[in-house]
């Protein structure tokens, strides 16, 4: 049988095999294998005729997770269907077509094939090896789809078509596609039920979510095997926790990572960065981290310093540390190839570290230093070589590493003729002992660079929690650090995109996210910077950043009023650090997102479904409605139904209403609407100029009552190191 695109589908079931956790359906020469990881997580693998199920290898999956199978598994069949049941799911498969549907314990359909799995054969006669695989599933009226990482459309992805191919998308705009990250995970909400779909391939993928046919979801990718997961749960948050269990949780970061970060491309010399540090402290604007962009290097050679601009890096970093600033340096993947005196390049050759052309010679591409070779981070020996290269930086006092340009980006001389600003797809990689081409590796390259960085920092300083940040990502990247939304622009629409992208990344398993405050490309006015700083104060990663050639963008350059408003927003962030740190701990231990779209805790709320307001939860207690339009001095905020209603954080006013209510809110420039759910206890601490300024010996607990008993979680530890794992 053929699907609407002419791909071959599975066809009739001819035999059924099963054991305690696996069911294999034979469809002639093709096979569909279902592996029940738990009662409510199923892995599905498709082997077309003449093909295997493919390598049982994935960068996405957390190697630390152990799956114990379902509590019970029954398999029944009659003339029409094969029925598979666990303690939470029923999977029914039509015998004539091998199309399946997955139902929860109440009988609600969570996932249903349309044409189901399918494949295309290469060659003019269509009988050669399988070249592409696809999956088509039914979309129901009213079904909403969230996820796919940093895509620049509305939170609900329904009705759009996307490409997943990591791309250096400088100055991207709404609708630009593809972007920096490829995370092929979707969260479906329908009729109050939630379901996750994760298609595990690092190949270039197209995802059609009802664009061509409004009742069909279709994913398609090169390759000969299809490997995907369906995840169920009692709530949307429970589904996301399952995805975190599958692909890993963020590590605990140093507490200072939750402070305010100041950056630009670039602070060109020691004097400039010292001046920024002095101004921050003199103006009493709290800040924990300063960044060194690429101009700190000698000719953009990684792991070097420009000694004319930064004659004493260790002394500078020590002085900044004395004033409470952590220093973060950028490291790109390109290693300058045409300088015989450059020791890192020579060492890379000695370790056979570089990505190879099909003829076995190192690939050369152009980036900031000029001609460069690129380490093959999919080779464990190369990762082991790369990590120790950070030793001198750590010795100099560097506290964090920022990996950029790792889509990977490669400069193309003639962009009009270029098909992609990256390296050729036929280059060769090790792929952790499974040699393959760049076409398969591409979307995981940035992730494996971040892995090499994180694991290297951990080996060099095992007593410290690494801080790393990456621009490119694939599913599972959160195991190795943090990310941001890339080269955004200074506009009100990008302020709105910052909300949508960070919420979507949070749904996609990436909890520690942020967008460049003020916009990277262009110049904000004072109002936009003030509103963006207020929003940034509620994002996990809170960093002001701008590009080369733009005017200064620090909080004080727009006049006293904007400086005061930015200071107050940053101070609110520091007052709320106990709450943020608890959220970080929940993300690291329970897989809970720090930022949450309104639909997550309220999947059946019709107002949220119909109007899609851009408020969001910060944890389970705080609800923010950022001001996203110029000149806005009033808004109507929708407060979802919760027992006991809501309180305005700024005024203390109580808004009762278990059924949900719209309240008018004044939004002068110095106020971001922020509400707290009744029955919450929110910890506040005194304002600090940086996290390590003074020990926090006293917290103020703000109690927002509701009838009956209520509790809250509060987590704290030393903020550095790993003693917390032993309960210290």
pLDDT, tens digit (0-9, with 9 covering 90-100), for 171-191: 999 999 999 999 999 999 999
Cα–Cα distance, 7 to 206 (Å, whole number):
15
- Percent of the chain whose predicted confidence (pLDDT) is above 90: 94
420: pLDDT confidence band, cut at 50, 70 and 90?
Answer: low
For residue 657, the model assigns a pLDDT of: 76
CATH code at 289-483: 3.20.20.80
DSSP SS3 for 186: strand
Q: Is the pLDDT of residue 419 over 90?
A: no
* 314-319-323-328 Cα dihedral, nearest 10 degrees: -30
pLDDT of amino acid 451: 99
The pLDDT of residue 417 is above 70: no
Radius of gyration of the chain (CA): 26
pLDDT(537) > 60: yes
Domain locations along the chain: 8-247, 289-483, 595-726
Instruction: Give residue 418's pLDDT band: very low, low, confident or very high (50, 70, 90).
Output: very low
Q: Give which of 350, 410, 401, 342 is closest to 374, Cα–Cα.
A: 410
CA distance 33 to 44: 6
Whether pLDDT at 122 is above 80: no
With a cut of 80, say whether residue 25 has pLDDT above it. yes
264-309 tens-digit pLDDT: 999 999 999 999 999 999 999 999 999 999 999 999 999 999 999 9
Q: Quick one: pLDDT at residue 366?
A: 95
In this predicted structure, the answer to whether residue 123 has a pLDDT above a threshold of 80 is no
Could you list the active site residues? 404, 407, 487
Average pLDDT of the segment spanning 70-88 = 97
Structure confidence at residue 130 (pLDDT): 86
Sign of the dihedral defined by the CA atoms of residues 586, 587, 591, 593, in that order: positive
Cα distances from 522 to residues 200, 490, 548, in angstroms, run: 37, 5, 10
Least confident of 64-78, 117-131, 315-329, 558-572: 117-131
- b (16+ CB within 10 A) / e for 360-393: eebbbbebbbeebbbbbbbbeebbebbbebbeeb
Question: How many alpha carbons lie under 13 Å from residue 633 in its C-beta half-sphere?
Answer: 2
Query: What CATH class does 595-726 carry?
Result: mainly beta
The CATH superfamily of 8-247 is glycosyl hydrolase (family 31) (2.60.40.1760)
Give 304-326 pLDDT, tens digit per residue: 999 999 999 999 999 999 999 99
In this prediction, residue 125 carries a pLDDT of 46
Mean pLDDT on 528-545: 99
pLDDT, one tens digit per residue, over 430-489 is 999 999 999 999 999 999 999 999 999 999 999 999 999 999 999 999 999 999 999 999
pLDDT band for 658, please (50, 70, 90 cuts).
Answer: confident
Residues 640, 605 contacting (CB under 8 angstroms): yes
Q: Could you report the per-residue pLDDT of 608-635, keeping only the tens digit for each?
A: 999 999 999 999 999 999 999 999 999 9
For residues 677-688, give the mean pLDDT.
98
Decide if 530 contacts 497 (C-beta within 8 A). Answer: no
Mean pLDDT of the chain: 96
Q: How far is CA 418 from the centre of its chain?
A: 28
Token pair listed for 672: 């971001």
Q: How does residue 126 score in pLDDT terms, banded at 50, 70 and 90?
A: very low
pLDDT the model gives residue 359: 98
Residue % of the chain over a pLDDT of 70: 98
107 backbone dihedrals φ, ψ, rounded to 5°: 95, 5
Q: What mean pLDDT comes out for the span 371-381? A: 98
Q: How far apart are CA 84 and CA 635, in angstroms?
A: 50
Is it true that 289-483 and 595-726 share their CATH fold?
no
Residue 414, pLDDT > 80, answer: no
Dist CA 685 CA 326 (whole Å): 21
Q: What is the pLDDT of residue 1?
A: 83
For the segment 574-600, what is each residue's pLDDT rounded down to a tens digit? 999 999 999 999 999 999 999 999 999
pLDDT above 70: residue 413 = no
| Count of residues making up the chain | 728
How many H-runs (helices) and E-runs (strands) does the chain carry? Answer: 12, 42
* The three-state (H, E, C) secondary structure of 21-55, written as one string: CEEEEEECCEEEEEEEEECCEEEEEEECCCCCCCC
Are 313 and 269 spatial neighbours (Cβ–Cβ below 8 Å)? no
Mean pLDDT of 189-200: 97
Least confident among 408-422, 494-508, 564-578, 690-704: 408-422
What integer is the mean pLDDT of 566-576?
99
Q: Concatenated DSSP letters for 475-540?
A: TTGGGG-EE---S-BSSHHHHHHHHHHHHHHHHTT--S----BT-SBS---HHHHHHHHHHHTTSS
Give 5-26 as a 3 state SS string. Answer: CCCEECCCCCEEEECCCEEEEE
Of 76, 118, 110, 69, which is closest to residue 603 (Cα–Cα)?
Answer: 110
Residue 211 near residue 220, CB atoms below 8 Å? no
The per-residue pLDDT for 128 is 58
Model confidence pTM above 0.95: yes
Q: Which of 103-107, 150-154, 156-160, 659-663 has the lowest mean pLDDT?
A: 659-663
Q: Is 371 helix (H, G, I), strand (E, B) or coil?
A: strand
User: Taking 90 as the threshold, does the pLDDT of residue 653 lie above it?
Assistant: yes
């Amino acid at each position: 049988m053929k699907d609407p695109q002419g791909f071959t589908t599975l066809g009739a079931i001819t035999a059924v095999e099963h054991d305690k956790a696996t069911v294999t359906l034979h469809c002639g020469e093709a096979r569909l294998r279902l592996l029940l990881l738990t009662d409510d997580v199923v892995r599905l693998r498709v082997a077309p005729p003449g093909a295997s199920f493919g390598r049982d290898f994935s960068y996405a999956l957390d190697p630390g997770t152990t799956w114990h199978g379902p509590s019970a598994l029954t398999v029944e069949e009659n003339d029409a269907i094969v029925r598979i049941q666990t303690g939470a799911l029923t999977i029914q498969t039509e015998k004539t077509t091998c199309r399946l549907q997955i139902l929860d314990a109440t009988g609600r359909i969570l996932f249903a094939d349309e044409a189901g799995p399918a494949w295309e054969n290469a060659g003019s006669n269509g009988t050669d090896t399988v070249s592409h695989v696809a999956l088509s599933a039914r979309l129901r009226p009213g079904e909403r789809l969230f996820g796919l990482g940093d895509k620049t459309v509305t939170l609900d992805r329904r009705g759009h078509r996307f490409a997943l191919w990591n791309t250096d998308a400088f100055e991207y705009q709404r609708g630009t596609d593809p972007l920096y990250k490829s995370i092929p995970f979707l969260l479906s909400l329908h009729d109050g039920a939630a379901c996750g779909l994760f298609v595990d391939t690092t190949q270039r993928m197209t995802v059609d979510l009802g664009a061509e046919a409004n009742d069909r979801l279709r994913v398609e990718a090169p390759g000969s095997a299809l490997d995907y997961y369906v995840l169920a749960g009692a709530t949307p948050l429970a589904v996301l926790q399952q995805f975190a269990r599958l692909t890993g949780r963020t590590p605990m970061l140093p507490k200072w990572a939750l402070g305010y970060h100041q950056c630009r491309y670039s602070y060109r010399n020691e004097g400039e960065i010292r001046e920024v540090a002095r101004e921050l402290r003199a103006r009493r604007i709290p800040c924990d981290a300063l960044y060194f962009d690429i101009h700190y290097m000698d000719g953009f050679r990684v792991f070097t310093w420009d000694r004319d601009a930064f004659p004493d890096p260790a002394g500078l970093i020590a002085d900044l540390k004395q004033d409470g600033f952590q220093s973060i340096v950028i490291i790109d993947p390109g290693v300058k190839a045409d300088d015989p005196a450059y020791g890192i390049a020579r060492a890379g050759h000695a370790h056979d570290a570089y990505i190879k052309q099909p003829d076995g010679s190192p690939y050369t591409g152009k980036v900031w230093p000029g001609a460069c070779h690129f380490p093959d981070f999919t080779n464990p020996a190369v990762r082991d070589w790369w990590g120790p290269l950070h030793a001198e930086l750590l010795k100099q006092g560097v506290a964090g590493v920022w990996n950029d340009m790792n889509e990977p980006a490669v400069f193309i001389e003639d962009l009009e003729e270029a098909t992609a600003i990256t390296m050729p797809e036929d280059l060769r990689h090790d792929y952790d002992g499974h040699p393959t081409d760049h076409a398969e590796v591409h979307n995981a390259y940035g992730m494996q660079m971040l892995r090499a960085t994180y694991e290297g920092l951990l080996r060099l300083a095992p007593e410290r929690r690494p801080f790393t940040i990456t621009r490119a990502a694939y599913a599972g990247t959160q195991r190795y650090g943090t990310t941001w939304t890339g080269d955004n622009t200074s506009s009100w629409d990008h302020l709105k995109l910052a909300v949508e992208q960070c919420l979507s990344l949070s749904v996609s398993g990436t909890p520690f996210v942020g967008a460049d405050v003020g916009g990277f490309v262009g110049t904000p006015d004072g109002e936009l910077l003030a509103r963006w700083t207020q929003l940034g104060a509620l994002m996990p990663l809170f960093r002001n950043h701008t590009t080369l050639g733009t005017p200064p963008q620090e909080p004080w350059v727009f006049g006293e009023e904007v400086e005061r408003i930015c200071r107050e927003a940053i101070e609110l962030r520091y007052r709320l650090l106990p709450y943020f740190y608890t959220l970080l701990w929940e993300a690291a231990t329970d897989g809970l997102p720090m930022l949450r779209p309104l639909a997550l805790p309220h999947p059946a709320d019709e107002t949220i479904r119909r109007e899609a307001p851009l408020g969001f939860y910060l944890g389970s207690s705080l609800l923010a409605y950022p001001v996203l339009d110029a000149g806005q001095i009033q808004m109507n905020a929708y407060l979802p139904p919760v027992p006991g209603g809501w309180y305005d954080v700024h005024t203390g006013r109580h808004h009762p209403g278990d059924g949900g209510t719209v309240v008018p809110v004044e939004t002068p420039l110095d106020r971001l609407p922020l509400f707290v759910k009744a029955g919450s206890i929110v910890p506040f601490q005194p304002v600090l100029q940086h996290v390590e300024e003074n020990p926090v010996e006293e917290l103020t607990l703000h109690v927002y009552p509701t009838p009956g008993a209520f509790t809250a979680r509060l987590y704290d530890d030393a903020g550095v190191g790993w003693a917390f794992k032993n309960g210290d």
